[in-house]
């Protein structure tokens, strides 16, 4: 439990320190610094508590990393609302589409190593997979378009049959074709390179490309190139239903998804999350997610030149006056200035990680529900929490 230092405590400390002959000016500098830091921590906890109550979320977690590398982590609410078990800092949650940034980071490394060309047609790397020709636009899509979401590929998860099949066979282990076949009979959203439409299908193809070029399993590649070198100890590949320290995720999704209200029962998720793969594919603490935001947007895994491509809106990526998309990242206009980041969703969980380039602050927020009261977005939630900082 974080505690604030109140005025009465300051007075008592002051008297004690006088007896020790410490100079008052130095003492007040030290105590004032401690007071401000404690006040900030109390405010973050209070803001997080208030948001969870306001939006009727079961629980949530929040982490922040300052410019100097200091990190603070917070949790509130319940991991199990029925049993009244508290959310804690050790709980991990599925981070959804934030996982796309791991795939993007690995692909950028392969580009910088000369093993992949962004301007090359994707199909040229996977000519042996003839069944890919059933995907719309496939012959015209470049690697760059996949990263930018400008390929025109439809979202395979918008085929209701996928969710019916998941419900009927929750333990299924999914192959490339198993996932992508749900997009075979769907129309292209637009011609390749002539528009923007967010699609998980793009990143499934990026995962295929990574495995074809490296000759390794995708999760092994990410672990070797990203997770192990950067010392992520609380990030797990979502490859099994019994992910450790997973809280209950609560779902209010429409009937289209065919999902239960409680997505975790006795520690097991409602279906095999391996289905998501490079469309997301990870579970993490907010502590690790905030660290990943700091590393990703300070160009640790790749060059500054690559980072500029990531955070510069692509030709079709200006979505509104408030948000745009570069090449593996959203660019948001937040209440506190420009922010780079990504959101994530899987049934029962929502996440966001953000980096504020002007302040060099990284944050992450997660909640164990996919719907909640009110119209606040996750970005708005973080904006509200950060009022104490800005």
Per-residue pLDDT band at 28 (split at 50, 70, 90):
very low
* Range 138-143 contact pairs with CB under 8 angstroms and sequence separation of 24 or more: 140/191, 140/192, 140/193, 141/192, 141/193, 141/205, 142/118, 142/192, 142/193, 143/107, 143/116, 143/117, 143/118, 143/119, 143/206, 143/209
Pairwise pLDDT comparison (37 vs 128), residue with the higher score: 128
User: Into how many domains does the chain fold?
Assistant: 2
Q: 150 and 216 share a domain?
A: yes
Among 35, 55, 75, the domain boundary falls at: 55
Task: Give the integer Cα–Cα distance in Å for 166 and 163.
Answer: 5
Beta-strand relationship, 330-334 and 323-325: antiparallel
Q: 224 and 354 share a domain?
A: yes
CATH number where 95 lies: 3.40.710.10
Q: 177 and 73 share a domain?
A: yes
pLDDT at 332: 98
Q: 262 and 159 share a domain?
A: yes
Q: 106 and 41 share a domain?
A: no
Residue 43 Rama label (left phi>0; alpha psi -120 to 50; beta): alpha
Q: 50 and 147 share a domain?
A: no
pLDDT at 2: 34
Q: Which domain holds residue 107?
A: 56-388
Per-residue pLDDT band at 16 (split at 50, 70, 90):
very low
Which pair of structure tokens corresponds to residue 361? 């602050």
Per-residue pLDDT band at 40 (split at 50, 70, 90):
low
Across residues 32-47, what is the average pLDDT? 65
Q: 138 and 36 share a domain?
A: no
Q: Is the pLDDT of residue 14 over 50?
A: no
Q: 98 and 24 share a domain?
A: no
Across residues 42-54, what is the average pLDDT? 95
Q: 103 and 36 share a domain?
A: no
Report the candidate in 203, 372, 343, 349 with the shortest Cα–Cα distance to residue 270: 349
Q: Which residues contact 29 (CB under 8 A, 6 or more apart)?
A: none
Q: pLDDT for 103-132, tens place per residue?
A: 999 999 999 999 999 999 999 999 899 999
Q: 70 and 183 share a domain?
A: yes
pLDDT at 389: 79
Residue 73: phi and psi, rounded to 5, are -130, 140
Task: Give the integer Cα–Cα distance in Å for 318 and 180.
Answer: 27
Q: Is the pLDDT of residue 186 over 60?
A: yes
Q: Which residues pair with 264 in a beta bridge?
A: 269
Q: Which residues pair with 367 in a beta bridge?
A: 60, 350
Residues in the chain: 390
Q: 37 and 107 share a domain?
A: no
Q: At what angle do helices 286-297 and 100-112 cross, to 10 degrees?
A: 30
Q: Is the pLDDT of residue 4 over 70?
A: no
pLDDT at 388: 75
Which pair of structure tokens corresponds to residue 195? 């528009």
Which pair of structure tokens corresponds to residue 37? 């830091």
Q: Is the pTM of this model over 0.95?
A: no
pLDDT at 357: 98
Q: Is the pLDDT of residue 185 over 70?
A: yes
Q: Is the pLDDT of residue 29 over 50?
A: no
Q: 50 and 28 share a domain?
A: yes
Q: Is the pLDDT of residue 154 over 80?
A: yes
pLDDT at 37: 52
Per-residue pLDDT band at 319 (split at 50, 70, 90):
very high
């Amino acid at each position: 439990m974080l505690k604030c230092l109140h005025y009465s405590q300051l007075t008592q400390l002051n008297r004690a320190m006088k007896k020790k002959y410490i100079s008052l000016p130095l003492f007040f500098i030290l105590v004032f610094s401690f007071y401000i830091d404690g006040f900030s921590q109390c405010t973050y906890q209070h803001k997080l508590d208030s948001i969870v109550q306001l939006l009727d979320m079961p629980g949530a977690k929040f982490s922040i990393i300052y410019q100097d590398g200091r990190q603070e982590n917070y949790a509130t609410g319940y991991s199990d609302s029925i049993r009244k078990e508290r959310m804690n800092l050790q709980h991990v949650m599925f981070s959804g589409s934030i996982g796309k940034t791991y795939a993007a980071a690995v692909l950028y490394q392969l580009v910088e190593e000369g093993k992949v060309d962004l301007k090359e047609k994707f199909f040229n790397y996977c000519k042996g997979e003839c069944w890919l020709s059933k995907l719309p636009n496939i012959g015209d899509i470049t690697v760059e378009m996949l990263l930018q979401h400008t390929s025109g590929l439809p979202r395979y998860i918008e085929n209701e049959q996928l969710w019916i099949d998941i419900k009927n066979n929750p333990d299924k282990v999914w192959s490339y074709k198993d996932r992508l076949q749900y997009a075979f009979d769907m129309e292209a959203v637009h011609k390749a390179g002539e528009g923007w439409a967010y699609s998980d299908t793009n990143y499934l193809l990026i995962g295929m490309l990574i495995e074809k070029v490296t000759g390794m399993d995708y999760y092994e590649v990410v672990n070797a190139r990203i997770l192990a070198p950067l010392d992520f100890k609380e990030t797990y590949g979502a490859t099994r239903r019994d992910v450790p320290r997973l809280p209950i995720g609560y779902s209010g999704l429409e009937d289209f998804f065919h999902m239960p209200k409680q997505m975790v029962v006795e520690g097991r998720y409602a279906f095999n999350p391996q289905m998501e793969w490079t469309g997301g594919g990870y579970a993490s603490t907010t502590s690790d997610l905030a660290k990943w935001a700091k590393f990703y947007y300070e160009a640790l895994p790749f060059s500054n030149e690559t980072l500029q491509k990531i955070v510069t809106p692509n030709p079709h990526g200006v979505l509104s006056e408030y948000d745009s998309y570069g090449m593996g990242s959203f660019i948001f206009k937040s209440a506190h200035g420009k922010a780079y980041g990504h959101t994530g969703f899987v049934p029962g969980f929502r996440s966001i990680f953000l980096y504020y380039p002007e302040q060099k602050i990284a944050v992450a927020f997660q909640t164990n529900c996919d719907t909640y009261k009110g119209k606040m977005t996750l970005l708005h939630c973080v904006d509200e929490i950060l009022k104490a900082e800005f």
